[in-house]
Amino acid sequence: MINFEAHTNKERLDMLNSIGLQSCDDLYRSLPVDIKIDGLNLGKGLSELDVTKEIKKLAAANKTDYACFLGGGASKHFIPACVSQIASRFEFNTAYTPYQAEISQGTLQSIYEYQSMICNLTNMEVSNASMYDTATACAEAILMAVRITGRKKVLVCKRLNPQYRQVVNTYAQAADIEVSDDLSVIGNDIACVLLQTPDYFGAIHNVEQLKEKITDSKTMLICCCDLISLAILEPPQCDIMVGNLQPAGNSLSFGGPYGAYFACLDKYKRQMPGRVVGRTVDSDGNQAFCLTLQTREQHIRREKATSNICSNQALVALQTTVYLTVMGIKGLRDAALLSSKNAHTLAEKLMDKGFELQSKNFFNEFVLKVNNADEFLANLKENKILGGIKLDNNRVLVCTTEMNTDTEIDNYVYFAI
């Protein structure tokens, strides 16, 4: 009889004895008794056909016909069907990080095209192959500025996405970096200033006014910018720019995976985390792609790596590349304009109804002042509208994209109380 188990009982006992244990339970004896459980509440095994039926039954309980006005770092944009079709081809979705990179010319070219598009949108000189998400991109940008300047104090705008701020604080604490949100005085001991525009509350900032406060040439400016907004808003002049890839060809996916872009001035490229793909020619004069910079610990000694945690979201970046290619300059601009137009139309109609806004200078998100945020959102939800994110008892963050129809906007205003 064939034994399909990975190890026999004798093999298990031999391994346990080699580390001075008597049973597998001894591996977990350090855990408190009150957190241990005796088995899982799972049903009996089912056939593939029965599992498919059960999953369909569960999926039918999902509410998918709600009008969505949620934002705050994850928004519902249109994704052309070809994006997932191309990105899911086996040549792409079976490959992760090519450690013999030059044999993966297709993957390298897609990354190179991605980098080029990011540079065009951000008006930056160099882009890496992407990051895990925007929060880690912000944190890695701060670590990069600290390495370049040799300073250990950074300023972070109060209106940065709170999730990004939490990750920044975690990185900073481990690296013994002092983080402050007082941008009124920017002294000569500051490594960098991190600003989000449009910020978490949707407001667009005047970066030039902030730059006037930075009197020391060594202090770096990091801007976190919505990628879609850069199709119609002038990219700010800064040293490092980061931002979210989710709106550009990536679905909400219950919170991830997302991804982030990371771009900087050419003079800082050797301190940039991650990797950079370059284009050259081979010995026969044909176009070829290679990893020009590979400063991750997987490629070089850990102590020399610019980051020991950052990687690239290769498939997420690929989907963004396909999305930007299909949309083109005009399509991306139209999506950005429609997203902004919908937001301002909704805001104006709500103001006509008596509501107030926190700021009128926004792209596609704004803060709406309400009497009771819980009741306001609950009433909208009863009418199949996800009305926004509760900020506090009297404020709601509302987001629109090109996906929101005139009817959805009118219904939002009608049911807003």
In terms of phi and psi (left: phi > 0; alpha: psi -120 to 50; beta: otherwise), the region of 57 is alpha
Distance CA 247, CA 75 (A): 6
**What confidence score (pLDDT) does residue 299 get?**
66
Q: What is the mean pLDDT of residues 135-154?
A: 96
Closest to 199 in 3D by CA, of 138, 240, 139: 138
Q: Which of 185, 198, 176, 197 is nearest to 155 (CA)?
A: 185
pLDDT at site 121:
97
Compute the half-sphere exposure of residue 51: CA atoms within 13 Å on the CB side of its CA: 6
Question: Chain-wide mean pLDDT for the chain?
Answer: 92
94-128 b/e with 16+ CB inside 10 Å = b? eeebbeebeebeebbbbbbbbbebbbebbebebbb
Residue 297 banded pLDDT, cuts 50, 70, 90: low
Q: Which residue has the higher pLDDT, 8 or 198?
A: 198
Location of each CATH 3.40.640.10 domain in the chain: 83-323
Question: Could you give the CA distance from residue 178 to residue 187 in angstroms, rounded to a whole number?
Answer: 14
Structure tokens at 175: 């690296």
Taking CA atoms, 155 is separated from 151, 165, 214, 376, 404, in Å, by: 12, 11, 11, 35, 36
For residues 53-67, average pLDDT: 92
Residue type, 227: L
Asked whether the beta carbons of 298 and 274 are under 8 A apart, the reply is no
Pick the CATH number of 67-79+328-415 from 3.90.1150.10, 3.30.750.24, 3.40.50.2300, 3.20.20.140: 3.90.1150.10
Of 151-165, 302-316, 348-362, 396-410, least confident by mean pLDDT is 302-316
- Residue range 83-323, CATH number: 3.40.640.10
Cis peptide before 198 (omega within 30 of 0): yes
pLDDT for residue 312: 60
Q: Which of 245, 405, 390 is nearest to 341 (CA)?
A: 405
β-pair type (260-264, 275-281): unpaired
Question: What is the model's pLDDT at position 102?
Answer: 73
Six token digits for residue 134 = 């925007």
Q: List beta partners, residue 127.
A: 263
pLDDT beyond 90 at 341: yes
Kindly report which listed range (50-64, 81-95, 260-274, 378-392) carries the lowest average pLDDT score. 81-95
CB 160, CB 224: distance < 8 Å: yes
Would you state the structure tokens that stand for residue 208, as one six-digit string? 């030039």
Model confidence pLDDT, tens digit, residues 227-278: 999 999 999 999 999 999 999 999 999 888 899 999 999 999 999 998 899 9
* Stretch(es) of the chain classified as CATH 3.90.1150.10: 67-79+328-415
User: What pLDDT score was predicted for residue 229?
Assistant: 97
